[in-house]
């Protein structure tokens, strides 16, 4: 993990991150974590850099050792209503507000900060630089991935367990063959295009 020095170091701070901005289906999920400096967790890193097995191992450790954590979301309907950027910020806002222990400051992954009253700092590539953000990214990704695996049982033709809703060749072929499900984001270009094509048939 890259060294990172925050102007808020020393304060009780939360790290917050979201997962699922790019997929064509499913909610966008966010998590907020306040780590306990007395209970370090080895191996925290950007969830995308970790194997699924490693994420699943770290998931309960984060929940057990963190001072406070919360996982929240914005729904597919909200994504379609307010766009994915605003839905991602909304999910992060809900995650921080859901913490049992409220932070003095918040470090947000990326370059945008939700509209809230918390003193906050945006950290580009924060999930690789701040352990609390890395922990949040792991919680959010594990929760979202598990949900997509569950959707695979409900919609077995689409392969959600494999691609997690991202626009892979398998997913695009399934969309073309079987159409759009209730968990697809109809405001996203490839899904919108498929709806238009189905209407012409």
Q: Return binding residues.
A: 17-18, 109
Q: What letter would DSSP give residue 104?
A: S
- Is residue 29 packed enough to be buried (19+ CB in 10 Å), middle (13-18) or exposed (0-12)? buried
Q: Which residues pair with 29 in a beta bridge?
A: 19, 73
Binding residues for a divalent metal cation: 17-18, 109
178, 33 contact by CB (below 8 A) = no
| Contacts of 103 by beta carbon, 8 Å cutoff, 6+ apart | 11, 12, 13, 14, 32, 34, 96, 118
Among 92, 86, 78, 90, which residue's Cα sits nearest to residue 139?
A: 92
Determine which helix (DSSP H) or strand (DSSP E) holds 70, and give its type and residue range.
Answer: strand 68-74
Among 113, 139, 135, 124, which residue's Cα sits nearest to residue 14?
A: 135
132, 36 contact by CB (below 8 A) = no
80, 187 contact by CB (below 8 A) = yes
């Amino acid at each position: 993990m890259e060294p990172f020095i925050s102007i808020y170091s020393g304060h009780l701070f939360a790290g917050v991150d979201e997962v699922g901005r790019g997929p064509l289906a499913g909610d966008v999920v966010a998590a907020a974590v306040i780590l306990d400096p007395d209970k370090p967790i080895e191996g925290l890193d950007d969830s995308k850099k970790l194997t699924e097995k490693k994420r699943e191992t770290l998931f309960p450790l984060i929940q057990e050792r963190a001072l406070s954590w919360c996982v929240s979301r914005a729904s597919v309907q909200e994504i379609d209503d307010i766009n994915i950027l605003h839905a991602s910020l909304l999910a992060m806002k809900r995650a921080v507000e859901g913490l049992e222990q409220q932070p003095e400051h918040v470090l947000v992954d990326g370059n945008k900060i939700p509209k809230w009253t918390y003193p906050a700092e945006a950290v580009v590539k924060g999930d690789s630089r701040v352990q609390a953000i890395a922990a949040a990214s792991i919680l959010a990704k594990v929760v979202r991935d598990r949900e997509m695996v569950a959707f695979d049982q409900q919609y077995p033709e689409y392969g959600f367990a494999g691609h997690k809703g991202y626009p892979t060749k398998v997913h695009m072929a399934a969309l073309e063959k079987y159409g759009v499900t209730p968990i697809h984001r109809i405001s996203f270009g490839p899904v919108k295009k498929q709806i238009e094509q189905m209407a012409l048939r």
